[in-house]
């Protein structure tokens, strides 16, 4: 087994018509245009596999690490549940413009239709412009017939729930829930490993070639949760210098850590990899085999075979992700 010191990866940049410059301006991501929409920090999605950027394993793909060290990297219980595949995808997103209105199918639909995982996700808001909001769910219970009629009459927006946001707000987006990130929002996203999205409305925008983007109207009909639900805003404790539970779902567990000083954790019995996303400040993170620095907008992966994790900091806010 390789010595699995704390691993950082090259960002995988994705450009969309709704992207902007904040991933570069705020986090120093290697953007080449003014439409940088997503920085994939940790990915095993086909054709978008992360590459180690630090230490002796630099240049090694995440897939190769899994091929060589799956149980040591992921944890025995994680391999038993998900196989030798990395089960989550980590991103930072900059929405300069409104994203399309969309939803994600559950595991059963995704498997039968696309031989894929579904896509359950969570968002942590890192930066907002004044008046920024999200669309999450409906503003009333809607029937499938009402929904279809709204598409035909171009009145879907009248049925949707708008949520104002500010830094630190956190949202859990379960499968089937209609949602969209609004203009002026930068966020951290944690999700199942899947790039499966059903786009249902895109504000009638056209791309550089004058074409409307593809919609998935028929596929979405049986995937949508038509009930109005107030189950998406995550209220979490913010006690300093400890791990505060934000989300604990079958696909990932996320804690919020507001550290004012150093922290040592014994993780011998965790039996899961650990990811830290830095959402403010900076820290040095070490395990049994080495250490690396992390600052706002960066991500680090620690293997399940780690027994101790030390975080040295004068101030950092971290999202700690495990399974």
pLDDT score recorded for residue 176: 96
- Is 60 exceeded by the pLDDT of residue 280? yes
pLDDT score recorded for residue 141: 97
Q: Which CATH number fits domain 12-221: 1.10.490.10, 2.60.120.10, 2.60.40.10, 3.10.25.10?
A: 2.60.120.10
| Alpha-carbon span 222 to 263, nearest angstrom | 47
- Is 70 exceeded by the pLDDT of residue 318? yes
- C-alpha distance from residue 40 to each of 89, 111, 177, 260 (Å): 8, 23, 23, 28
Domain ranges of the chain: 12-221, 244-322
- CA triple 142-251-283, angle to 5 deg: 115
pLDDT score recorded for residue 2: 67
pLDDT digits (tens, 9 = 90+) for 96-137: 999 999 999 998 998 899 888 889 999 999 999 999 999 999
CB atoms within 10 A of CB 49: 17
- CA triple 130-247-110, angle to 5 deg: 95
At the top level of CATH, the class of 244-322 is: mainly beta
Which segments of 96-203 are extended strands (E)? 101-103, 121-128, 133-138, 160-164, 170-173, 179-181, 185-192, 198-201
pLDDT score recorded for residue 210: 83
| Alpha-carbon span 250 to 106, nearest angstrom | 13
The catalytic position among 16, 81, 113, 199 is 199
pLDDT digits (tens, 9 = 90+) for 252-279: 999 999 999 999 999 999 999 999 999 9
CB atoms within 10 A of CB 19: 23
> What does DSSP say about strands 88-95 and 185-192: parallel, antiparallel, or unpaired?
antiparallel
Q: Sort residue 24 into left (φ over 0), alpha (ψ -120 to 50) or beta.
A: alpha
pLDDT score recorded for residue 104: 95
% of the chain residues with pLDDT over 90? 90
Pick from 170, 178, 189, 319: nearest CA to 233: 170
- Is 70 exceeded by the pLDDT of residue 91? yes
CB atoms within 10 A of CB 162: 12
Which segments of 174-289 are extended strands (E)? 179-181, 185-192, 198-201, 244-248, 253-259, 263-266, 274-287
Q: Is 179 annotated as a binding residue?
A: yes
- 113 has catalytic annotation: no
- Is 60 exceeded by the pLDDT of residue 1? no
pLDDT score recorded for residue 256: 98
- Is 90 exceeded by the pLDDT of residue 317? yes
Q: Is 209 annotated as a binding residue?
A: no
Q: Is 104 annotated as a binding residue?
A: yes
pLDDT score recorded for residue 49: 97
Domains 12-221 and 244-322 belong to one CATH topology: yes
Residue 23 · residue 36 · CB < 8 Å: yes
| Alpha-carbon span 290 to 307, nearest angstrom | 12
| Alpha-carbon span 66 to 7, nearest angstrom | 13
% of the chain residues with pLDDT over 70? 99
Q: What is the mean pLDDT of residues 242-247?
A: 98
- Is 90 exceeded by the pLDDT of residue 250? yes
pLDDT digits (tens, 9 = 90+) for 3-57: 899 999 999 999 999 999 999 999 999 998 999 999 999 999 999 999 999 999 9
- Is 80 exceeded by the pLDDT of residue 188? yes
């Amino acid at each position: 087994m390789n010595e699995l010191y704390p691993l950082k990866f090259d960002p995988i940049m994705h450009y969309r018509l709704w992207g902007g410059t904040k991933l570069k301006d705020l986090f120093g991501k290697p953007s080449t245009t003014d439409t940088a929409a997503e920085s994939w920090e940790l990915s095993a999605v086909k054709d978008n596999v992360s590459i180690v950027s630090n230490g002796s394993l630099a240049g090694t793909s995440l897939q190769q690490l899994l091929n060589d060290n799956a149980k040591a990297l992921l944890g025995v219980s994680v391999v038993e549940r998900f196989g030798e595949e990395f089960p989550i995808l980590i991103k930072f997103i900059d929405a300069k413009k409104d994203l399309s209105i969309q939803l994600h199918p559950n595991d059963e639909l995704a498997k039968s239709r696309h031989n894929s995982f579904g896509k359950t996700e969570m968002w942590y808001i890192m930066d907002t412009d004044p008046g920024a909001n999200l669309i999450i769910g409906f503003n009333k219970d809607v029937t499938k017939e009402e929904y279809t009629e709204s598409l035909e009459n171009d009145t879907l927006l009248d049925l949707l729930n708008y949520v104002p946001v500010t830094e630190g707000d956190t949202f859990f987006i379960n499968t089937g829930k209609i949602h969209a990130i609004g203009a002026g929002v930068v966020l951290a996203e944690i999700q199942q490993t899947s790039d499966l999205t059903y786009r249902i409305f895109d504000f009638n925008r056209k791309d550089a070639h004058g074409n409307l983007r593809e919609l998935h109207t028929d596929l979405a009909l049986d995937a949508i949760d038509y009930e109005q639900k107030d189950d998406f805003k995550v209220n979490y404790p913010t006690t300093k210098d400890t791990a505060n539970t934000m989300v604990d779902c079958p696909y990932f567990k996320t804690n919020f850590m507001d550290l004012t000083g150093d922290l040592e954790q014994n993780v011998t019995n965790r039996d899961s990899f650990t990811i830290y996303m830095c959402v403010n400040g900076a820290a040095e993170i070490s395990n049994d085999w080495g250490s690396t620095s992390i600052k706002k907008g960066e991500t680090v992966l620690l293997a399940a075979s780690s027994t101790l994790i030390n975080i040295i900091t004068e101030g950092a806010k971290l999202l700690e992700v495990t399974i």
